[in-house]
Structure 1
Amino acid sequence: MKILALHLHHVIEYASMRGISRQELISLLAKPPANFLDETETISKEDFYAVIDTIANQLKEEELGIRLGNFLNLGALGLIYQISLQATTTEEALYYLQMYLNATLPFVNIQTSIDADWVSIILNIDNKQLEANRIILENILTVIAREVALMTTKEVSIIKTSPFFTKNYPDDWKASTHYSVNFTPTILKATLQDKSRLHLDVLIPEYLKLIEGLKTETGFANKVRIASLHLAKPELPDLASVADAFHLTSRTFQRRLLAENTTFRQITDDLRKQISNLLIRHNRFSITDISYVLGYSEPAAFIHSFKKWFGEAPDRMRQKAFS
């Protein structure tokens, strides 16, 4: 049974951010892929579980799958969106999702159901490795839920369920005998009608280029920059979300940044500056689009920041870039 190596790449990236040696994890593989990012490279199910088990034993965290799913959002960002580009109905979009999981994570069983009021995606794995399965399935559910939320501009109700649910889980999780994600079908229907709102085919490569450029640096502050880009949805995350990715309290998280003479606000402002400098060069993003991506409440606030960063208005800089 072969698994897409890219799935394991994202897991190893998160573990590395948490302080686990990347080389230690790769050494567990009987046959490491030459390039984890090559979409033709695969690994065995045994190797996949060996890495998951090692990370679980070292971190010992109940919500590890959820944290991993939040971190992986950028790695999988746009999966369901891209699937929806091929689909004309909700049922067809769910069919493409099922086909993708069957092809790249064949040991995960997926069952979908849809009626007028509710869409349910139910996952399970047929083996006895309960703790590893919990991490894998809660990770997948988190990614799916975040991607579904990405496809709408409105606040939506997306409920995830797990047999391992505890009171420490996020508010959108509930107890159940099975792993599932549930939402109203109107979310997907709206997206099938408006397929270009976020221009993810442009946004994702730009985010990924930023991440790759940051990897040459070391230090906790740099890990925070990378984590912030991974957690983007597409607007950058708040302090509490990034602190949780490191399993730290907000106070401890801020102390570690201060030890490196920086703050979360400074990091976020710097990332916003870099992202705006990239997206202003793409005509498909309006000033309003960029304001939304960067998490500003209104374009005027973004324009004010842009002038402070670059000394001129975004429209003026865009004109220069294309003149």
Structure 2
Amino acid sequence: MKVAALHLFNFLDYAQMRGVTPQRVLTPLQLNNLDKQDINQLIEEAEIYKALNWVQDELKDDLWGIKAGNFLTLKLLGLIYQISLQVTTIEEAFHYLQSYLETTLPLVKMKTTTTAEQITVLMQIENEDKKINRIILENVLTIISREITLMVTGEFSFSLTSPYYTTSYPSHWKKEDYFTISFAPVLLKAALRKRPVEQLDLLLPEYLKLIETLKALDQSFSNKVKVTMLAMSDPHLPDITAVSDALYLTPRSLQRKLERENSSFREILLDLKKQICSFLLRHKEYSITSMSYVLGYAEPAAFIHSFKKWFGDSPERVRQNLRNSST
């Protein structure tokens, strides 16, 4: 059975944030011929298991599948988001998702059960490597839970289950005999013919471009924190607890490492918000309220206060100046 190499590289992107470079994994396994840019490239199931076992031995973190799922959400966001704009039922959305998995990750089998009260999606892999199956399945479930959150209207409550659950798992997880996600039937955004205010079709490529630019700049810890924050955005930037957990650190340890580089989490957060804001200003689709929402401000007034510190004027005047300079 063959698997799309992009899934391996998704895992390796996260491992790199934890200090395990792709070369350290691929070279001993003679997989250096893999091309990260080739989305159609396939590898043998045995090869991806060898690679993931190697990373597991390096990280020594049983929850790294979940953490990689949170880190890599943006990688699959484009596909799921585009689906969400077309379909009107959750059943239809999962039909497309199942087709995607069957094509790119066929070792994962998916079964959906729907009742009037609950939708349950069961995931399983039919081989004997339970350690890596756990990593893969918890990763896939984490990604799915985050993508559905973006697809539905209003609040979304869901439950994730794993046979390996302990109290160290994130919220929403509990112990059951199988790997599942379950939730009450929900109404998709497309069913209301309403595009989400954050206009993710515009944000996604900009976020990804910024991530690649940051990766090319340097290997400082501050830069790793920036890449992690952008990769975990949905589109809100994550807080220090989420970023620390993804990097297998406590918030205090993360702050200390940043202080050694004369930086802080707050400085990085504000710098990224300013960069994202600069992009949003150039798109008339974003009102002041929408921009404040995307950047994580509870009230537009708080956003405007920060904006004036960044740019020295109000959003309306800065936007008008940008328009005048482009004409």
Matches within 5 A, 1:96-111: 96-111=96-111
The Cα of 1:85 is off from its aligned counterpart by: 2.1
Contact 1:211 1:226 in 2 (8 A): yes
Deviation by residue 1:137-194 (Cα, 9 ceiling, x = unmatched):
00110111111122346432111000111111112101111101111222x4345324
CA RMSD, Structure 1 to Structure 2 (Å): 1.7
Q: Which residue is equivalent to 2:92? A: 92
Identity percentage of aligned residues: 48
Q: Which residue is equivalent to 2:308? A: 307
Task: For 1:310, give the aligned amino acid.
Answer: F
Q: Which residue is equivalent to 2:276? A: 275
Compared with structure 1, are the counterparts of its residues 282 and 121 closer, same or farther at alpha carbon in structure 2 (3 Å cutoff)? Answer: same
Return 23-32 or 53-62, whichever deviates more: 23-32
Name the SS of the counterpart of 1:86 in structure 2.
coil
Q: Which residue is equivalent to 2:18? A: 18
Q: Which residue is equivalent to 2:247? A: 246
Q: Which residue is equivalent to 1:175? A: 175
Return 64-73 or 4-13, whichever deviates more: 4-13
The Cα of 1:305 is off from its aligned counterpart by: 0.9
Contact 1:31 1:43 in 2 (8 A): no
Runs of 4+ in 1 over 6 A off after TM superposition: none
Aligned-partner Cα distance in 2 for 1:284–1:42: 39
Task: For 1:193, give the aligned amino acid.
Answer: L
Deviation by residue 1:63-91 (Cα, 9 ceiling, x = unmatched):
11111111111112243322222323222
Compared with structure 1, are the counterparts of its residues 32 and 103 closer, same or farther at alpha carbon in structure 2 (3 Å cutoff)? Answer: farther
Deviation by residue 1:72-114 (Cα, 9 ceiling, x = unmatched):
1111224332222232322211111111111110111011122
Name the SS of the counterpart of 2:112 in structure 1.
strand
Contact 1:120 1:180 in 2 (8 A): yes
The Cα of 1:293 is off from its aligned counterpart by: 1.2
Task: For 2:225, give the aligned amino acid.
Answer: V
Q: Which residue is equivalent to 2:291? A: 290
Q: Does 1:209 align with 2:209?
A: yes
Q: Which residue is equivalent to 1:41? A: 41
Q: Which residue is equivalent to 1:196? A: 195
Q: Does 1:124 align with 2:132?
A: no
Q: Which residue is equivalent to 1:64? A: 64
The alignment's TM-score, normalised by the length of structure 2, stands at: 0.93
Name the SS of the counterpart of 2:188 in structure 1.
helix
The Cα of 1:316 is off from its aligned counterpart by: 2.0
Aligned-partner Cα distance in 1 for 2:191–2:81: 9
Aligned-partner Cα distance in 1 for 2:40–2:62: 33
Contact 1:79 1:147 in 2 (8 A): no
Name the SS of the counterpart of 1:268 in structure 2.
helix
The Cα of 1:62 is off from its aligned counterpart by: 1.9
Q: Which residue is equivalent to 1:232? A: 233
Name the SS of the counterpart of 1:87 in structure 2.
coil
Contact 1:28 1:47 in 2 (8 A): no
Aligned-partner Cα distance in 1 for 2:43–2:282: 38
Aligned-partner Cα distance in 2 for 1:43–1:293: 38
Q: Which residue is equivalent to 1:158? A: 158
Compared with structure 1, are the counterparts of its residues 33 and 316 closer, same or farther at alpha carbon in structure 2 (3 Å cutoff)? Answer: farther
Name the SS of the counterpart of 1:50 in structure 2.
helix
Name the SS of the counterpart of 2:109 in structure 1.
strand
Name the SS of the counterpart of 2:80 in structure 1.
helix
Contact 2:5 2:41 in 1 (8 A): yes
Aligned-partner Cα distance in 1 for 2:173–2:97: 22
Return 304-313 or 159-168, whichever deviates more: 304-313
The Cα of 1:237 is off from its aligned counterpart by: 0.5
Name the SS of the counterpart of 1:77 in structure 2.
helix
Aligned-partner Cα distance in 1 for 2:27–2:151: 38
Name the SS of the counterpart of 2:303 in structure 1.
helix
Contact 2:69 2:142 in 1 (8 A): yes
Size of the aligned set, in residue pairs, is: 322
Give the unaligned 5+ runs of structure 2: none
Compared with structure 1, are the counterparts of its residues 130 and 269 closer, same or farther at alpha carbon in structure 2 (3 Å cutoff)? Answer: same
The Cα of 1:8 is off from its aligned counterpart by: 1.6
Q: Which residue is equivalent to 1:255? A: 256
Aligned-partner Cα distance in 1 for 2:142–2:274: 29
